[in-house]
Structures are given as structure tokens and as C-alpha cells.
Amino acid sequence: MRYILTRPCLQEGVLRLQKYLEPTFPESGPATFVDDRGREHRVEIDRAAGVVRGLHALYHDANLGVNDVLMITPLEPGRYSVEGIVKPHAPITTPRTENQRTPEPRRVVVTATPHVREVRLQHAEPDARAERPVAPRAEAPAREPLVPVPQLGREPRTAAPASTSAPGPVPETPEAQLAELASLTGYRLSYAAPGVARLAAELGEFGYVVHVALNEAARRPGWEGGADYSALLAAEGEKVTGTPRLTREALVALLEHARLAPLSPIDLRPYWEAGDLDLNAAAGVSELVGAHLAQRGAFSFVLLTLAAQPAHSVLQVPRLAERLGSGVNPAELSSILDTLSRAPFLALTPLPGGQYLLRAGVSEMLRDVADYADGVRRRIRPATPAQAEAGWAPTPA
């Protein structure tokens, strides 16, 4: 079984018995967790409270954090094998200032004779490299300095204005905030009763329903009926008894996170299950969004580095990794290059020995992908509500 760790789990040293985990822990009482190093951890299963306690040492020894995964395998009654899977996080890099941006490649003359001139694309060398110590080498014939060659017949291209605008301010009312959150994350929003918002994740066997009471008066008898999880909208510092909280501050934070990166009801389910969804829990969602953005940033970093490679040339992966430095780890680089080798990119062709052929320049490739996406977008016909309910999909034209 796969269990995603939340911040409350790590702080309290517990594992919450979600519905899909209940058959794995059929009885209350002591049990033993055996980690991947063979160490045994004594735990206590409390089905009445819906938790497994005594996991502080296991989480600490495995160096587990928010959104990491715990794999649980029953061995025999009261004995389980557990393995912690730490999700990789790209290192945080300081954004470059305007003056620190990598210069665009330029056409330069490498060698020239009265009849032949060799021209290549080359990045301008930063001044800092001139300060590096240079190992002594045998004297070579002096070479003419690199001279930029103007590109004749082309008008200079002006930068197009950004087409995306900054997201608007967060709506002021909780109803509007929940409506936007539902639209961004895939919930269906309705109202089960006056003042009780119903967030339905209609995902078949993975679906669930959350009831959110917008005020204390909405907590009438039976207001939680039909919901898998329920919460009362309250202020961050407000104490509530008997019902988990969804704090107003956490709702705003969730909405801001959903604007930055795609979030789904599957991502948010562990936080509803954990109890209070406050700013402390929302910080875990922030780390998840940060991981998404780091993956996107790594992909962009590889593309920008490949842009200095001329089209129809052989790409040496070790040299590319050296140019990327610590910004992209080997596993990420391998995955990105594999993605660029497949449709719709088709920018690379794998070669023997772990090398690649760059089939086109990055700018041309991105232009082709943009044209392809625009063509598909024009052919998309929105499904009617009846078709959406029936799971209808359009047939290829």
C-alpha cells in the first residue's frame, strides 16, 4: 500500500488509517514495522482513533519529509514491511538578474581564407573566464580574433509583448474562493444546504466528497451527511471542537498554489484526511507545488542550454551535463532527453553510445510545437454536459 506523508503525520509521528488502509490494519493493538534496513519499530494500531502511533523514529531514520511516500506490505498478522521513498527535489537556484542573463549565441568567423570562411554559432565568453589560471601549453599559430558576422537580408526581430497577464486578486468572499479553487483543481462545487459547500471529486473509485460549513450557523444536525470529509471555515487562530477546520488563510493559500501549478483532488485528499487544513498543512501543498515548478524549471534549463547547440549536430550527453552543472541531476536529464525524443517534440534522435542527434534548432522546434498545439486547440469542440456525464470522447477527424 502507498501512503503519502503529510506535515501533521510527521509532527505527530502517526499514520492515519484512511479507508483504503483499513483492511491492511484489521485489528487494534501492538504491531511491528520492519524498515528496508531490517530495523524493527514497535507501533500501536488504534482503529477507534483511526491512527497508527509510534512512527517518529521511523520517519527520522528514513529522512522522510512532506509528500514523501511510505510503502506498506503486510508480512504476517501484526508485522509489516515498510519502505520510505523520498521524492527528489531540484536545488533552489537564485533567479538571475537582467544583467546576468546568458547572452544569445552569435554568428562568428572561426577561420577565414581568401576563398573559404567557417562560421559557427557561439556564446559570448563571460569576463570571469579570463581570470582562470591557464595551464601552460605549446605555442600555436596565432588565430585571427573572432569577428561577429551580421546576418544579411534579415530584419531584426523585436521582442513580442508577453501574452499572459498576472493573475487577478484573490476573490474576497469564501464562496467565490471555493468556486475558483474548484474550477482550478477539478472539484464539482454545489451546496448541500444553505451555508454548506459541497466539493465533489468525481473520479470513480478514487472519488470523494467534502462538506465545508461556511459559518457556525451552517452546522445543523446532519450537515455532514453524505460527505467523506467535513470542515468548518474558520480563522487561523480560532479554536473549533468536534469538527476539523479549513482556515480562511489556508483557503487563500491553496487558491494561490493552484494558480501556480496544477493541483488535483488526488493531491489534496491526504490533507482533508489529516484533519485541520490550516496554514501549517498548506505549507505541505506549497512544497508539492514547488516540486512541480522545479521540474518545469529543469526542463526549461535544458532547452535553453540546447539552444546553443547547432541543428543537425551530435549531442554529447556528458558534455551537456557538464554545462548544466548541478541545476539538473542525471535522472532528470535522462527523462527530459527521452521526452524530447518523442512526439510532439521529436527534437532528438537517440544514437548508439547514449548520444543524440539534434534534428532541429530549439527555436524551430518550439515554433513547430506551438503551431501543432494551436492546430489541435482549434479542432477541440467542448463537450456538452450530457456527453461529459457519459464519459464521451470525440472521435478523431
pLDDT beneath 70: ranges in the chain: 87-167, 383-397
Residue 267: Cβ within 10 Å count: 20
Do 343 and 259 share a domain, yes or no?
no
What pLDDT does residue 193 have?
92
Q: First and final CA of the chain: distance in angstroms?
A: 42
Smallest CA-to-CA distance from 18 within 36, 38, 31, 4 is with 4
Do 259 and 343 share a domain, yes or no?
no
Do 180 and 274 share a domain, yes or no?
yes
**Would you say 298 and 336 are in contact if contact means Cβ atoms under 8 Å apart?**
yes
Do 324 and 220 share a domain, yes or no?
no
Cβ neighbourhood burial of 278 (10 Å; 0-12, 13-18, 19+): buried
In a domain? residue 106: no
Do 332 and 359 share a domain, yes or no?
yes
In a domain? residue 11: yes
In a domain? residue 30: yes
**Per-residue pLDDT tens over the stretch 101-140:** 555 555 555 444 444 444 455 555 544 444 444 444 444 4
Give the whole-angstrom CA distance, residue 31 versus residue 13: 15
Do 16 and 42 share a domain, yes or no?
yes
Tell me how far the alpha carbon of residue 97 is from its chain's centroid: 24
What pLDDT does residue 231 have?
95
CATH of the domain at 332: 1.10.10
Do 212 and 253 share a domain, yes or no?
yes
Cβ neighbourhood burial of 167 (10 Å; 0-12, 13-18, 19+): exposed
The last residue of one of the domains, among 51, 67, 85, is: 85
Give the whole-angstrom CA distance, residue 70 versus residue 18: 14
Do 280 and 178 share a domain, yes or no?
yes
Domain that holds residue 342: 307-379
What pLDDT does residue 21 have?
83
In a domain? residue 139: no
What pLDDT does residue 9 have?
86
Q: Could you give the number of structural domains in the chain?
A: 3
Three-state SS for the chain is CEEECCHHHHHHCEEECCHHHHHHCCCCEEEEEECCCCCEEEEEEECCCCEEECCHHHHHHCCCCCCCEEEEEEEECCEEEEEEECCCCCCCCCCCCHHHCCCCCEEEEEEECCCCEEEEEECCCCHHHHHCCCCCCCCCCCCCCCCECCCCCCCCCCCCCCCCCCCCCCCCCHHHHHHHHHHHHCCEEEEEECCEEEEEECCHHHCEEEEEECCHHHCCCCCCCCCCEEEEEECCCCCCCCCCEEEHHHHHHHHHHHHHCCCCHHHHHHHHHCCCECHHHHHHHHHHHHHHHHHHHHHHHHHHHHCCCCCCEEECHHHHHHHHHHHCCHHHHHHHHHHHCCCCCCCEEEEHHHEEEECCCHHHHHHHHHHHHHHHHHHCCCCCHHHHHCCCCCCCC
**pTM (2 d.p.):** 0.55
